[in-house]
Amino acid sequence: MTDAPTLYGLCAAALIGLGVYGFIVNPQPLRKLLAFNVVGSGVFVLFGAIAHRGGALGWGGDPVPQALLITGIVVAFAATALAVALLLRLADEADSVTLADAAPAKPDVTARDR
């Protein structure tokens, strides 16, 4: 129960859970982005644990997950950069950086219905 891969796996599950929680409850886009990165870290830790388990054959570890992990980290980094760029641009254009619609869409009952 207390071997290293299991511990890392549980740690990964905790990170993913925290990240998803943060993503849902934080209204600010930057916090959501950080929460996404926490989820990502959790997934990567899980992959690392799986790579270690695959290394039971006597190697230092399963190399395939490591290669995939690097790619995954690059993709997550690129995603973060893209989102931050959008966020900065939004901060320039609008006075408040929120994800809510500028004027909350009113239900159409108020519209001129006949």
Partner 1 sequence: MTTTPGGLLLVLAVLAPIVGMLIAFTLGGRNAQRIASVTIVIGLGIAIAIAAAWAQTGATVVYLLGGWSPPLGIALRADGLSVVMMLAVAVVILGIGVYARADFATPAGVPEARAPFVFWTLLLAIWGALNLVFVSGDLFTLYVALELLTFAAVPLVSLDGRAETLRAALRYVLYALLGSMFYLLGVVLVYGAYGTLDIGLLAARVHAEPATLAAAAFMTVGLLAKTALFPLHLWLPPAHAGAPPAASAVLSGLVIKGSWFLAVRLWFDVLPGVVTLASAQLLGVLGAAAILAGNVVALRQARLKLLVAYSTVAQIGYLFLMFPLAFDAGAAALERGGALAGGTLQAISHASAKAAMFMAAGLIYRAVGHDRIAELAGVGRALPLSVLTFALAGLALMGLPPSGAYAAKKLLLDAAEASGQWWWASVMDVGGLLTAAYVVLVLVHALRPATEPREARAHVSHRAQIAALALALCSLLLGFAALGPAPLDAMPKPSLDFGALASALLVLLGGAVLAAGLGLRLPPLPSRGVLTAPLAPVRRATVAVGATFVRVDAALRQWPVAGLALIVAAIGFGAALLA
Provide the sign of the torsion angle of the four alpha carbons 22, 24, 48, 46, taken in this order.
Answer: positive
Distances (CA, A) of 84 to 56, 62, 77: 40, 34, 11
Measured N-to-C along each axis, helices 29-54 and 63-93 cross at an angle, to the nearest 10 degrees, of 180
Q: Are the CB atoms for 79 and 51 separated by under 8 Å?
A: no
Q: Does 50 help bind partner 1 (rule: CB under 8 A)? A: yes
DSSP 62: -
Q: Does 71 help bind partner 1 (rule: CB under 8 A)? A: yes
Site for partner 1 in 23-42 (CB under 8 A): 23-25, 27, 29, 32-33, 36, 39-40
Report in angstroms how near the CB of residue 39 gets to partner 1 at its nearest. Answer: 5
Which residues of the chain form contacts with partner 1 (CB under 8 A)?
A: 16, 20, 23-25, 27, 29, 32-33, 36, 39-40, 43, 46-47, 50, 53-54, 64-65, 68, 71-72, 75, 78-79, 82-83, 86-87, 89-90, 93-94, 98-99, 101-102, 105, 107-109, 111-114
